[in-house]
Amino acid sequence: MPKKSPAKKTPSKKRYVIVGTGGRSFMYADALLRTYKRTSTLCAICDLNAQRMAFHNKRYVEEWDCKPVKTYDSADFDQMIAKENPDIVIVTTMDRTHHDYIIRAMRLGCDVITEKPMTTDADKCQAIVDAAKRTGRKVRVTFNYRYSPSRSKVKELLKSGVIGDVKSVHFEWLLDTRHGADYFRRWHRDKRNSGGLMVHKATHHFDLVNWWLGSEPKVVFGLGQLGFYGRANGEKYGNYRPYYRASGSEAAKDDPFAQTMDDVANLKGLYLDAEHLDGYIRDQNVFGDGISIEDTMNVNVLYQSGAQMSYSLTAYSPWEGYRVAFNGTKGRIELDELENSYISAGDSHISDGCTHSTRLMVMPHWEKPYNVDFVVGEGGHGGGDVNMLADLFAPKKAKDPLGRAAGFRDGAMSIMTGIAANQSFATGQAVQVKDLIQLH
Ligand SMILES: NC(=O)c1ccc[n+]([C@@H]2O[C@H](COP(=O)([O-])OP(=O)(O)OC[C@H]3O[C@@H](n4cnc5c(N)ncnc54)[C@H](O)[C@@H]3O)[C@@H](O)[C@H]2O)c1
């Protein structure tokens, strides 16, 4: 295995490479090539699809006025590390491949920034944890949700003790028929790729709860089903139209669930024009065959702190957003957020999941309830993306009193709830998290 040579390092600028150049990579490339270009260098991008990398480079040059970035085929990842000598590898590939790049990057002497979910199952998670311990390298998991002002405010309130010790959490997350449906069009629809929405999506939510409570999951029980999407449900409820993929299909024309790609520049350039190379079809029929993930999930969790949670995730709701409530020994906190729905890579990456409206309320026992104000964040994921990028790439780090920066342990514990829930869906039994992973 080729090793990095320390000789090439420029001390003033941090060197980065990105592996996985789909929709999410825009945000990191934008930060490195534009916002933080004085202190960062994006040395190279790496993917198994050369056309997708070419699309990014065209955009960097034509729209961002940057020079093209070197490209490497995924088979040449190790050579890229040896040649480009990055300090940090950013992993934005399909979920089931994260562990491979995280572990190889650390073995080759790099730190890692990885997108969520850190990985998709307990064995891969254990391999990452072991490699991080063996190499002493840093793994940052980019939980942008922690950085949104409303969720940070909740952390602040809970930390202040205003509602005492939290005994239970009631958390409902709704994905709508635009954004929620999108997981059923792409690689996510195969549970082997994404771990299902319990891992791929709920890793965000379970991480928030771990962080909010300052605790970790202990016992998980869950029920899950595919109740709305998929061929059988489509036929049962009258939503099925006879087509495999939306672009170019007559039968998809009057289907409100269809997402075509030839009319959206990013989707066309990134996926439609690149699919001849790898067969990645991004616009499949959400009521087609072959879906192995759930769209209706309910989970109970017992935390190490003694708190309990009831959590629900629905992927076919008329509105997008969530409601979370904390019941404490001195009162209750409620946070409701209505979010703007989006399609990954379909719109500007910086507006993905913008907040539409928020209600944050504290209800102390025996006192008047009150609304809590905070500065509403601009940009993607409730303002979380912009704040997180500053934390990752700004030369001067702001203080982090809320502990928003997440490492491999947070990454591991955030997926354990979903991995345990998946096991519980299959067996009907409650799952002890300690039986899935060894962190010590
Ligand atoms: N934090 C967030 O809010 C957020 C939002 C969107 C996506 N994400 C995460 O970002 C990651 C990428 O998502 P996306 O929407 O960009 O998906 P995408 O399908 O648009 O892109 C995935 C890319 O990975 C590449 N890839 C697949 N297998 C590979 C391999 N073995 N080696 C190298 N490249 C490979 C594909 O060719 C593609 O370019 C996912 O892990 C996802 O969970 C996070």
Q: Are residues 303 and 237 located together in one domain of the fold?
A: no
Do 132 and 25 fall into the same domain?
A: yes
Query: Is the pLDDT at 305 greater than 90, yes or no?
Result: yes
Same-domain pairing of 225 and 235? no
Range 235-247 average pLDDT: 98
pLDDT at 116 over 50: yes
- For the chain, what is the domain count? 3
Distance CA 237, CA 364 (A): 45
Query: pLDDT band at residue 121, thresholds of 50, 70 and 90?
Result: very high
Nearest CA to ligand 1 atom 19: 22
Whether pLDDT at 235 is above 80: yes
Find the CATH number of the domain harbouring 321. Answer: 3.30.360.10
Average pLDDT over residues 351-362: 77
pLDDT of residue 383 exceeding 80: no
Which of 205, 19, 31 has the alpha carbon at shortest distance from 94? 19
Domain annotation covers residue 388: no
Q: What span, in angstroms and rounded, lies between the C-alpha atoms of 123 and 274?
A: 32
Which one of 141, 160, 193 terminates a domain? 141
Please indicate, yes or no, whether residues 221 and 314 belong to a single structural domain of this protein.
yes
**What's the N-to-C CA distance of the chain in angstroms?**
28
Residues 6+ apart with CB under 8 A from 279: none
Domain-embedded: residue 285: no
> What pLDDT is attached to residue 384?
83
Considering the domain boundaries, does residue 391 fall inside one? no
The contacts of residue 265 (CB under 8 Å, 6+ apart) are none
Domain end among 118, 141, 164: 141
The C-alpha atoms of residue 320 and residue 179 are separated, in whole angstroms, by: 8
Judgement on whether residues 377 and 319 belong to the same structural domain of the protein:
yes
Q: In the structure, what pLDDT confidence band is assigned to residue 339 with cuts at 50, 70 and 90? A: confident
- Residue 338, domain extent: 145-229+291-383+408-435
Residue 381 has pLDDT above 80, yes or no: no
Asked whether residue 252 falls in the same domain as residue 347, the answer is no
334 beta partners: 325, 361
Give the model confidence (pLDDT) of 158-205 as tens digits. 999 999 999 999 999 999 999 999 999 999 999 999 999 999 999 999
Statement: residue 344 has pLDDT above 80: no
Using 50, 70 and 90 to split pLDDT, how confident is the model at 347? low
Element containing residue 390 per DSSP (H, E): helix 384-393
Statement to judge: residues 303 and 363 lie in one domain: yes
Flag whether 257 is in a domain: yes
User: Coil, strand, or helix at residue 93?
Assistant: coil
CA gap 209, 206 in Å, rounded: 5
Question: DSSP labels for 115-180?
Answer: PSSS-SSHHHHHHHHHHHHHH---EEE--GGGGSHHHHHHHHHHHHTTT-SEEEEEEEEEEETTHH
Q: What is the mean pLDDT of residues 407-412?
A: 98
**Predicted pLDDT at 7:** 47
User: Do 220 and 193 belong together in one domain?
Assistant: yes
Q: Whose CA is nearest to atom 9 of ligand 1?
A: 115
- Among the three residues 95, 113, 141, which one is the final residue of a domain in this structure? 141
* Mean pLDDT of the region 353-374: 90
What residue ranges line ligand 1, CB within 6 angstroms?
A: 19-24, 47-49, 52, 74, 92-95, 97, 115-116, 142, 144, 200, 344-345, 381
One domain for residues 319 and 428? yes
